[in-house]
Amino acid sequence: MRGFVARRMAGMALVLLAVSLTAFLVFNVIPGGDPTVRIAGRSASEQTRAQVREDFGFDRSYPVQYVRLMGQVLDGTLTSYPDRVNVRDEIVRGIPATASLVIGAAVIWVLFGVGFGVLSARYAGRWPDRVVGALAMVAISLPVFWVGAMLLYYLTYRVELFPPGGYVGLSEDPGGWLTHLLLPWFTLSLLFIGVYARVLRTSMLDAEHEDYVRTARAKGLSERRVMTRHVLRNALVPLVTLFGLDFGAAIGGGAILTEAVFDLHGVGQYAAGAVDSLDLPPVIGTTLYAAFFIVLMSALVDIVYGWLDPRVRVDG
Amino acid sequence: MAEPVLRVEDLEVAYATAAGPARAVRGVSFAVAPGETLAIVGESGCGKSSAAHAVMGLLDARRASVTGRVQLGARELLGASHTERRLVRGGELAMVFQDPLTSLNPVQRVGTQIAEQLHAHRAIGRAAARERAVELLGRVRIAAPAATVDAHPHELSGGMRQRVMIAMALANEPRVLIADEPTTALDVTIQAQILDLLAGLRVELGLALILITHDLGVVAEIADRVLVMYAGRIVEAGSPAEVFLDPQHPYTWGLLGAIPRVDRPVAPRLPAIAGLPPSPLAPPAGCPFQARCPHAVAACAELPALEARAGALGHADRCVLSPTVKRARREVVGRIGLEVSA
Amino acid sequence: MTSAALLEAVHLEHRYGAVRALDDVSLAIAPGETFGLVGESGCGKSTLARALLGLLEPTAGTVRFDGRDIAGLGRRARRALCGELQIVFQDHSGSLNPRRRVDRIVRDPMRRHDPNGSEGLEARVAALLEQVGLSAEQGARFPHELSAGQRQRVGIARALAPAPRLVIADEPVSALDVSVQAQILNLLCDLRDELGVTWLLIAHDLGVVRQVSDRIGVMYLGKLVEVAPTPALFARPVHPYTGALLDAGPVPDPRASRRARIVLSGDPGDAADPPPGCRFHPRCPRASALCAESEPPLVSYGAGRLAACHHPAGVTPEELAGARVAPASPRSAGDALPRAPYSSADSGASSSPSSS
């Protein structure tokens, strides 16, 4: 186990290095991103600009700039170029919103995704399966921002059932926290419900043909027990991997569209804003944050997988 | 034969396919008494597995239609309710499958799987179930039952896994055990052990054993009666001595001749049956073997009845040729040491 | 080991981590012969096949084809070797590309390895298909449209397409029904007679191997325990494992099953942790204290019969007197020759029922 953890941590360091390097290089290559102009202002004089360049180190070579940036990341002084806001503080500020959104949505999408998946598999080929299948396709195809925008329009504007976006802290106002999150939860989970229902359906139908399910029936077990203990238990395993990665990506700030549409000011929205304004430090910060979560979740998934399927034990 | 514990009459199984019904079993009847071993022999597609699954009630009603009569003791199974059938399955009527690696749940411990079967059929506490699981593992001659009970299937060898499957099937003291190719996936030396085990259990427990296999050697080892199936029908039935030493049906000759034997001199060529079995989508009307039979005559176009023609009452076959002609035409006498009786 | 051997394994060893899949195996196959290799799962026969083909690099030892060490071959020479050394797999459905037509599957290796180029290729493909019993119409189909037996014929045709000198057939009939198996075995015999190809046939069924082979080798837990010409192996097996295999195979004769026979106890040992001394001794009805201490050498008893056992059966005192340790004997084995042939009066355990 210790070997596993050590290997994964080494892997994570490599991933973070690669990710930050890529972000850094991309940003320095794309046009229009010259930070000097953004910091100094458009009408700054050449002298001001030269000063800015020197202060920020833009006149140095790329490796030096990179190392400097990484130094700032490590001691928490990474600062946004135009408005001199500390990146780490901003990310930390956005975490409650992102976490509330993603965790809540995850609970919903797992429950409903699995529920619909089991329903589809149980009635495979018949009308409940077809209906769920069609709905799943719709859910997957609808663009997240459109769903969000529609919900906002109809349920917060036309009819004022829900607050029109924004985030309210749980400790501040639990009721408000909930009402502000209901629509975003629905919006974010819709896509995943569709995917998980389809994936689980296939997985269950495959598992049902396995020999050990036939044995379970031959043992005289009730159909319910066969479905839960044998079919579902084995069919859920691939879903675990999927969930790990989806959740990791979302909590790492991947729910950008939902956060933006509902103006939740989470990490995703922050990242989006940074990209929009071509501001490198927050981009580096949020990218590293996201990569960290994905690597972490991927390691957790491997461990859980080994626990679920003893044939694939994580070697220590 | 003593009073049979399981009686099957006119069993027919047809699968619904896109190309129409696939008639896998076409009118099969047999009976088996306690302590008796009935072997059903045939090649892939002959319907033997389908018949077994139908008796157990494992066929999905949406995909397969099953008609006929299956009587366990005094009870008729085919018309019974789902619940009734489920209570019998794994209880009085148990089944062991071919590949123990895929037939056991890979993520569950072996003891749990055995206990599950116990719980499904009787009120028993967890500790008692576990004890019984250990006892059953010992009954199937597993070396360290208390340790094995907590193992997962992939941690055990092929022979041990098959013993686990047998232990599971015995959990509720069945009256009939159906073994579908129980030794095919195992090494030959392990196969011998498992056959020994099954033979011993049959005597110990008074079980009726139905053994389904394509391996004639296995049949000769432990069967009391043999049914030879082809294209969904029984073409010959009798004791092993009758079927192996005085086979009456050309398909049986073909099967016996095709086996490469170690107990007889090597033949330069194995007499092989030309062609392929008929598709269950288009089963032939008359004798099922007619198209491939080198001895077919015009009368074969009508399905011969399964009746005793060779003298011995229990030895029935579906070939209209007279026994004298058959004995003359059998080309495998020298190869398989047939006794040409008077 | 004669220098005329077509394919040779010399002190071949292969380990997967702790598992010794092949432990000092030496074997020579002469041109034109059919050699049958028998053993149960885990004995190493498939690993040996792969090592002989060059599909895996053994951790020790050499493989020689036509006198040349195949390990040192460059890429081009390696590709040429594929034309001379071919394999037929057990899993015919898995080893045939489901998206290609049968005739194309057969044509490709023919084209790649044939110096004659593409003239008359179609005709030669058709001729080969006919030789293995497939019609032109079947050649136009896809593998999944054919029966198991027909697919196996395709596998055989594909192996023969580049006109190889040696073909390894790895369990070619074990997944087939008895009557189809007989057809394929007859085909192998015919091809052997017509084409003069050398065959290495790997199987777990002694009856199958006996039907086609000139010589048979028996493997157990990574070691070669007996080699003999076919009639001799069946008439007078030397090694107890060979005897057990012979006895264990169920015979389709109800009278035969009543005889007393050896039923081995226990499971085949663990290749990662083999028993000391002779690997077979924990299950052996003839085992003595010597067997637990020292690994028996592979001894030659004359007339091509080799066996590795301290208590050999089936050998006359004359043969024993003329016995010598074979060059193919593993280096780790002792060199003490057996003193006397085994007689069943010696040991107590012989026909006991299994108890594990």
Residues of chain A with C-beta less than 8 angstroms from the C-beta of B58:
214, 217-218
If you measure CA to CA, which chain C residue comes closest to B275? Answer: C180
Pick the CATH number of C7-213 from 3.40.50.880, 3.40.50.300, 1.10.10.10, 2.160.10.10: 3.40.50.300
Q: Give me the number of domains chain B comprises.
A: 2
Closest-CA distance of chain B to residue A31, Å: 55
Hey, is the C-beta of B29 within 8 angstroms of any chain C C-beta? Answer: no
Query: Where do the H-state alpha helices sit in chain C?
Result: 45-53, 75-84, 92-95, 102-113, 121-131, 136-139, 148-160, 178-195, 206-212, 230-235, 240-248, 289-293, 317-321
Domain boundary among B207, B223, B239: B223
Say if A86 falls within a structural domain: no
Interhelix angle for C148-160 vs C121-131, to 10°? 130
From the list A204, A183, A185, A198, the residue with the least C-alpha distance to A141 is A198
Question: Is A246 inside any structural domain?
Answer: yes
Q: Is C142 exposed, middle or buried (CB count within 10 Å of its CB: 0-12, 13-18, 19+)?
A: middle
Which chain B residues touch A230 with a CB distance below 8 Å?
Answer: 105
Domain boundary among B186, B207, B223: B223
Number of helices (H), then strands (E), in chain B? 13, 12
Candidates A218, A310, A311; nearest CB to B90: A218
Helix (H), strand (E) at residue B13: strand B6-17
**Cα–Cα nearest to C56, from C43, C64, C47:** C47
Looking at the structure, tell me whether residues B14 and B139 fall in a common domain: yes
Instruction: Please name the member of B107, B120, B152 whose beta carbon is closest to the beta carbon of A219.
Output: B120
| C164, C84 Cβ separation under 8 angstroms | yes
A212:B56 CB<8 A: no
H or E, element range at B208: strand B208-213
Closest residue to A221, CB basis, from B94, B120, B154: B120
- For CA atoms C92, C95, C98, C101, the dihedral sign is negative
Dump the DSSP string for C168-205: EEESSSTTS-HHHHHHHHHHHHHHHHHH--EEEEEES-
Chains A and C touch (3+ CB pairs under 8 A): no
Statement: residue A112 has pLDDT above 90: yes
pLDDT for residue A119 is more than 60? yes
Residue of chain B minimizing CA distance to A311: B154
E-state strands within A10-106: none
The pLDDT, as a whole number, for residue B279 is: 83
Q: Return the residue in B83, B103, B136, B150 with the most chain A beta carbons within 10 A, the one to mutate for interface testing.
A: B103
B220/C254 CB distance under 8 A: yes
Show the tokens assigned to A83: 């408005």
What are the percentages of helix, strand and coil residues in chain C, rounded to 5? 35, 20, 45
Give Cα separations from B125 to A223, B118, B121, B131, B145 (angstroms). Answer: 22, 10, 12, 10, 19
Instruction: Give the pLDDT band (50/70/90) at residue C276.
Output: confident
Residue ranges, chain B, pLDDT below 50: 333-334, 337, 339-342
Contact of B112 with chain A, judged by CB distance below 8 Å, is answered with no
DSSP state of A231: I
Q: Do B144 and B59 have their domain in common?
A: yes
- Residues A219, A300: one domain? yes
pLDDT tens-digit readout, B229-246:
999 999 999 999 888 888
DSSP structure class, residue C336: P
CA distance C172 to C208: 10
List of chains touching B (3+ CB pairs within 8 A): A, C
Question: What backbone phi and psi angles, to 5 degrees, belong to B257?
Answer: -70, -30
pLDDT computed for residue A103 by the predictor: 93
The answer to whether B184 faces chain A, any CB pair under 8 Å, is no
Q: Do B102 and A222 touch (CB under 8 A)?
A: no
CA B317 vs. chain centroid, Å, equals 18
Distance CA C164, CA C66 (A): 13
> Which strand ranges, in their side-by-side order, compose the sheet holding C324-325?
C85-88, C166-170, C198-203, C34-38, C215-220, C223-229, C306-307, C299-300, C324-325
Q: Which range, of A83-92, B91-100, C109-118, C123-132, averages the lowest pLDDT?
A: C109-118
- Regarding whether A300 and A270 lie in a shared domain, the answer is yes
Is the CB of B273 inside 8 Å of chain C's CB atoms? yes
∠ CA C72-C77-C78, nearest 5°, is: 75
* 3+ Cβ–Cβ pairs closer than 8 Å linking B and C: yes
Give the pair of three-digit tokens for residue B30: 């047999």
Radius of gyration of chain A measured on its C-alpha atoms: 24
User: Contact, B259 vs C207, CB < 8 A?
Assistant: yes
The pLDDT, as a whole number, for residue B331 is 62
Contact C269, C294 (CB under 8 A): no
User: Which of chain B's residues have a Cβ under 8 Å away from the Cβ of C149?
Assistant: 276
Note whether B214 contacts C177, CB cutoff 8 Å: yes
Helices and strands (H, E) in chain A, number of each type: 14, 0
* Residue A210 domain-assigned (yes or no): yes
Question: For position B339, what pLDDT does the model report?
Answer: 45
- Domain locations along chain C: 7-213, 234-325
Sign of CA dihedral B261, B267, B268, B273: negative
The residue-averaged pLDDT of A162-171 equals: 82
CA C143: distance to chain centroid? 27
- Spatial strand order in the sheet of B176-180: B93-96, B176-180, B208-213, B37-41, B225-230, B233-238, B316-317, B307-308
Q: Which of A212, A308, A311 sits opposite B103 (nearest CB)?
A: A212
Instruction: Kindly list the partner chains of chain C, i.e. chains with 3 or more CB atom pairs below 8 Å.
Output: B
Q: What pLDDT does B110 receive?
A: 93
Q: Does residue C349 have a pLDDT over 50?
A: no
Report chain B residues whose CB lies below 8 A from the CB of C256: 220, 263
Instruction: Match 């031959």 to its residue by tokens.
Output: A218
Residue B59 lies in a domain: yes
Assess B214–C contact: CB distance below 8 Å, yes or no: yes
Please tell me whether residues A68 and A209 are part of one structural domain: no
Strand partners, B32: B6
- The answer, for B89 touching chain A at a CB cutoff of 8 Å, is yes
Nearest alpha-carbon partner for B295 in B275, B270, B320, B271: B320
What is the domain range of residue A34?
A: 2-75
Does residue A224 sit in the same domain as residue A294?
yes
pLDDT at residue number B228: 94
- Please give the ipTM for the structure prediction: 0.85
User: Which residue(s) pair with C12 in the sheet?
Assistant: C25
User: B102 and B139 share a domain?
Assistant: yes
Q: Is residue A84 part of a domain?
A: no
Judge: C267–B190 Cβ closer than 8 Å, yes or no: yes
Q: Is residue A268 included in any domain, yes or no?
A: yes
Q: Which residues of B touch A212 (CB under 8 A)?
A: 102-106
pLDDT at C225: 92
| The pLDDT of residue B55 | 94
C-alpha triplet A258, A262, A263: angle, nearest 5°: 105
Residue B171, classified by CB atoms within 10 Å of its CB into exposed (0-12), middle (13-18) or buried (19+), is buried
Top-confidence residue, C339 or B87: B87
* CA–CA gap between residue A254 and residue A287 (Å, rounded): 10
Q: How far is CA C37 from CA C19, C29, C34, C250, in A?
A: 21, 11, 10, 20
Collect all residues of chain C within an 8 Å Cβ-Cβ radius of residue B217.
249-252
Reading the block at residue B182, the tokens are 């129980």
End-to-end CA distance of chain B: 25
Specify whether A49 is located in the same domain as A145.
no
Whether residue A181 is found in the same domain as residue A304: yes
- Of B141, B190, B266, nearest to C210 by CB-CB distance is B266
Q: Which amino acid is at C353?
A: P
In angstroms, the separation between the Cα of residue B122 and the nearest Cα of chain C is: 31
What letter does residue C68 receive in the DSSP assignment? E
Please tell me whether residues A166 and A28 are part of one structural domain.
no
Looking at the structure, tell me whether residues A17 and A120 fall in a common domain. no
Number of domains chain A is built from: 2
Is residue B198 included in any domain, yes or no? Answer: yes
Coil, strand, or helix at residue C289? helix
**B30, B159: one domain:** yes
Q: Mean pLDDT score of chain A, rounded to an integer?
A: 87
- pLDDT digit string (tens) for B243-271? 888 888 888 888 888 888 777 777 778 87
Q: Which amino acid is at B142?
A: I
Residue linked to tokens 């056959």: B195
Residue where a domain stops, chosen among B223, B257, B277: B223
Phi, psi of C295 (to 5 degrees): -75, 125
What local confidence, expressed as pLDDT, does residue A193 receive? 95
Strand order in the sheet with B75-76: B20-32, B6-17, B64-72, B75-76
Note whether residue B23 is domain-resident.
yes
- What CATH number does the domain containing B100 carry? 3.40.50.300
Q: Report if residue A102 sits inside a domain.
A: yes
C-alpha separations of B62 from A220, B26, B66 in Å = 19, 19, 11
pTM of the entire predicted model: 0.81
Identify the residue among B86, B89, B98, B107 best suited for mutation to test binding to A, counting A beta carbons within 10 A and taking the highest: B107
Determine how β-strand B75-76 pairs with β-strand B64-72: antiparallel
Shared domain check, B76 and B197 = yes
Say yes or no: B189 and B327 in one domain. Answer: no
* β-strand partners of B244: none
Measured between beta carbons, the chain B residues lying within 8 angstroms of C242 are none
Q: Which two tokens stand for residue B332?
A: 């495998």
What's the domain range around B11? 6-223
Rounded to an integer, what distance in angstroms lies between the CA atom of residue C170 and that of residue C159? 12
**What is the pLDDT at residue A158?**
85
Residue type, C4: A
CA–CA dist B60, A123 (Å, integer): 13
Q: How far apart, in whole angstroms, are the C-alpha atoms of residue C356 and residue C354?
A: 6
Q: What value does the mean pLDDT take over residues C195-218?
A: 90
Q: Do B262 and C206 touch (CB under 8 A)?
A: yes
Q: What's the angle, vertex CA A93, arms to CA A89 and CA A98, rounded to 5?
A: 135
Among A45, A75, A105, give the residue marking a domain's end.
Answer: A75
Q: Distance, in angstroms, between B164 CA and closest chain C CA?
A: 14
pLDDT bucket at C350, cuts 50 / 70 / 90: very low
Q: Is 50 exceeded by the pLDDT of residue C10?
A: yes
Residue range C220-237: mean pLDDT, rounded = 91
Residue A63, in any domain of the structure:
yes
Most B CBs within 10 A among C34, C253, C284, hence the mutation to make, goes to: C253
* Residues A192 and A69 occupy one common structural domain: no
Do A258 and A220 lie in one domain? The reply is: yes
Q: Which of B56, B97, B116 faces A211 most closely, judged by CB atoms?
A: B97
Task: Flag whether A221 is in a domain.
Answer: yes
User: What count of other Cβ atoms lies within 10 Å of the Cβ of residue B67?
Assistant: 13
Rounded to the nearest angstrom, the minimum Cα separation between C246 and chain B is 8
Phi, psi of C119 (to 5 degrees): -75, 135
Residue B141 in contact with partner chain C when CB distance is under 8 A: yes
